[in-house]
Amino acid sequence: MTRLRFALSGILAAVAGIAAGHLVAGFLAPASSPVLAIGSTVIDLTPTPVKEWAIATFGTNDKLILQGSVLVGTLVLAAVAGLLARRRLPVAVGFIVLLTGLAGAAALLRPAARPLDALPAVAAMAVGVATLVWLARLAGAAAGDAPSRAPGRDEAAGPRGSVMTTVPDAETRSRAGRRGFIGGALGITALAVLAAVGGQLRAGAQSVKKVVLPAAADKAKALPKGLETTVSGISPLRTPTDTFYRVDTNLVVPQVDVDTWTLEVDGMVDQPFTMTFAELAAMPLIERDITMTCVSNEVGGGYIGAARWLGVRLTDVLDRAGITGSPDQVLSTAVDGFMISTPLAVVRDGRDAMIAIGMNGAQLRATHGFPARLITPGLYGFVGATKWLTRLTLTTYAADQSYWTKRQWATDAPIKTSARIDTPAPLSTIKAGTTAIGGVAWAQHRGVGTVEVKVDDGAWQRTKLGPDVGIDYWRQWYLEWDATPGLHRIAVRATDLEGQPQITQRATPFPSGSSGIQEVVVTVA
Ligand SMILES: Nc1nc2c(c(=O)[nH]1)N[C@H]1C(S)=C(S)[C@@H](COP(=O)(O)O)O[C@H]1N2
Ligand SMILES: [Mo]
């Protein structure tokens, strides 16, 4: 019991410290909350193969699992500190100082950190140490250790009740001590919960401001009716923003103040300049339907979405600065210091690379990069879709490397032609008779030519394609199938408009995107 009380003292000290830090961070900068700062640093330090494994294994839960692991790891170390506190309090205190010091260092070493970002860790340190010292003293009293107050002082303090006239014996003392510890532990827990919830509410209360988006000078055509209206189970032609995938390295979504936000254009340019959001939005706007894909999308995966984007042509902004020398990349920086490299030749080959400020008829959501992000049709997001954009630097790959380049991912990463079966669902059971096999196929900036389906060992059959929304957009497809009872294998493959079939050889997302044919197995009953 005694050891448990000391371990608990350490754990509660950590919980109280973390909660205090979270509360302070809620007011200053949510991302500098101790567990989040350490989590972000862990993300950046995780070797690429481990990151890939985590994304493949946990999907979009990877962030929760990471934060949970950091928290559990911290609590285990804190329990050790608690056990040490019985005999070596200074060592235990040193332990807490070290842990919170690491959190402070992690917060200060984030790419866009400000000195104030250390404050949550300082709060965590102060509250953690004070809680540990206090609870360890209560735990000591409960164990009947050398009492923190000499017995005589109990008397001197005066009787609490008129009957209490003698010095309490050891048993009475430790019973009171146990009660004292329980009270202290409950009190700390309650305060910690309040602080953590307060910090969370405060951080969540910050939201992005409403902005007015001017109409596009160059509008997209009305979106045709998609196959989803006739073939049930097929992905809608346009992905609703609510279900659009989200991929980034951020544990806390940056909430950018659009009134102070600026876009800086610098590097190998004649005229570096800075513009405000109003200035950016006042430039001629284009509206385009573009399908985005994440390089981490596995064959048959869901890290893909098709949306209508409103924005300024990237070349319009770059031309305003004027290129000088021979840069070969656009290095884009997000408000948190995260960087992406995009090949300049791709940006300038006539495609609709843009600085988007609108998505599906609304301003960007915070999760999708408010107030402005890059969209580069045909390239995976990690080389062309910088969210929370704040700086564009013309430079060379030799001089500067971005986040993923430093982690050995491909520098030029065109999206690979691919097809996905949406219906029937893998391993589902369907009724015998006429049914539809359907899904989406994509070959951004080349365009989908044909999609073919193969059932079991049959021949490849041409499917019917949905409406054509341009070469940067995905294409829905379906095939009527007379499903006979039994187990069946359905495979799909796409060929682009240039006649180039998708790569059938299986490849992992690292380093330049997955490839391979998707095959699903279904039971027909
Ligand atoms: N600032 C920032 N921008 C980013 C990323 C990031 O981690 N940080 N991830 C990129 C990746 S890998 C992809 S696939 C797209 C995803 O955009 P979405 O979340 O809007 O779908 O954003 C890109 N832009
Ligand atoms: Mo991505």
pLDDT, tens only, 43-56: 999 988 888 888 88
Ranges 191-195, 250-254, 346-350: which has the least confidence:
250-254
The CB of 248 under 6 Å from ligand 1? The reply is yes
pLDDT for the residue numbered 37:
95
* CA 96–ligand 2 middle distance (angstroms): 37
- More confidently predicted of 9 and 405: 9
pLDDT tops 90 at residue 108: yes
Residue bearing the CA closest to ligand 1, atom 21: 246
Task: Please list the residue range(s) of the chain that carry CATH number 3.90.420.10.
Answer: 227-407
Phi first, then psi: give them for residue 299, nearest 5 degrees: -55, 125
Could you report the per-residue pLDDT of 276-304, keeping only the tens digit for each?
999 999 999 999 999 999 999 999 999 99
**Average pLDDT score over residue span 26-44:** 93
Residue with tokens 């980034």: 248
**Average pLDDT score over residue span 222-232:** 97
**Average pLDDT score over residue span 427-456:** 98
pLDDT tops 70 at residue 156: no
* CA 416–ligand 2 middle distance (angstroms): 13
Cβ density class 306-327: b for 16+ within 10 Å, e for less: bbbbbbbbbbebbeebeeeeeb
- More confidently predicted of 202 and 217: 217
**Average pLDDT score over residue span 177-191:** 95
pLDDT above 90 covers a percentage of the chain that reads 85
Task: Please list the residue range(s) of the chain that carry CATH number 2.60.40.650.
Answer: 418-524
Could you report the per-residue pLDDT of 269-281, keeping only the tens digit for each?
999 999 999 999 9
pLDDT tops 90 at residue 175: no
The CB of 382 under 6 Å from ligand 1? The reply is yes
If pLDDT is split at 50, 70 and 90, which confidence band does 39 have? very high
If pLDDT is split at 50, 70 and 90, which confidence band does 149 have? very low
Measured CA to CA, the distance from residue 51 to residue 340 in angstroms comes to 18
The CB of 334 under 6 Å from ligand 1? The reply is yes
Q: What is residue 401's three-state secondary structure?
A: coil
Residue bearing the CA closest to ligand 1, atom 15: 381
DSSP symbol at 511? T
Q: Which of 43, 341, 382, 405 is the best mutation target for the ligand 1 pocket, counting ligand atoms within 8 Å of the beta carbon and taking the most?
A: 382
Atom of ligand 1 nearest to the CA of 247: 19
pLDDT tops 90 at residue 144: no
The CB of 387 under 6 Å from ligand 1? The reply is yes
Atom of ligand 1 nearest to the CA of 334: 1
If pLDDT is split at 50, 70 and 90, which confidence band does 147 have? low
What angle in degrees, to the nearest 10, is found between the helix axes of 89-108 and 34-45? Answer: 60
Residue bearing the CA closest to ligand 1, atom 13: 381
Q: Which of 46, 241, 247, 297 is the best mutation target for the ligand 1 pocket, counting ligand atoms within 8 Å of the beta carbon and taking the most?
A: 247
Encoded tokens for 134:
């206090």
CATH topology classification for 227-407: Sulfite Oxidase; Chain A, domain 2 (3.90.420)
Give yes or no for a contact between 497 and 443, defined as CB atoms under 8 angstroms apart: yes
For residue 438, list its beta bridge partners: 423, 478
The pTM assigned to this predicted structure is: 0.89
* CA 512–ligand 2 middle distance (angstroms): 11
pLDDT for the residue numbered 155:
42
Q: Which of 51, 110, 248 is the best mutation target for the ligand 1 pocket, counting ligand atoms within 8 Å of the beta carbon and taking the most?
A: 248
Q: CA Rg, the chain, in Å?
A: 29
Residue type, 141: A
Could you report the per-residue pLDDT of 451-461, keeping only the tens digit for each?
999 999 999 99
pLDDT tops 80 at residue 164: no
pLDDT tops 50 at residue 442: yes
Q: Are strands 273-276 and 262-267 parallel, antiparallel or unpaired?
A: antiparallel
Average pLDDT over the chain, rounded to an integer: 93
**Average pLDDT score over residue span 349-364:** 98
DSSP string, 70-99: HHHHHHHHHHHHHHHHTT-HHHHHHHHHHH
Cα dihedral 64→69→70→76 (10° resolution): 150
Residue bearing the CA closest to ligand 1, atom 1: 387
For residue 329, list its beta bridge partners: 343, 395
Strands of the 518-524 sheet, one edge to the other: 429-430, 518-524, 486-496, 448-455, 461-462
pLDDT for the residue numbered 167:
65
Measured CA to CA, the distance from residue 99 to residue 106 in angstroms comes to 11
Residue bearing the CA closest to ligand 1, atom 16: 247
pLDDT for the residue numbered 162:
47
Q: Which of 446, 448, 447, 480 is nearest to 463 (CA)?
A: 480
pLDDT for the residue numbered 208:
87
The CB of 275 under 6 Å from ligand 1? The reply is no
CATH topology classification for 418-524: Immunoglobulin-like (2.60.40)
- Cβ neighbours for 68, distance < 8 A, ≥ 6 positions apart: none
pLDDT for the residue numbered 169:
79
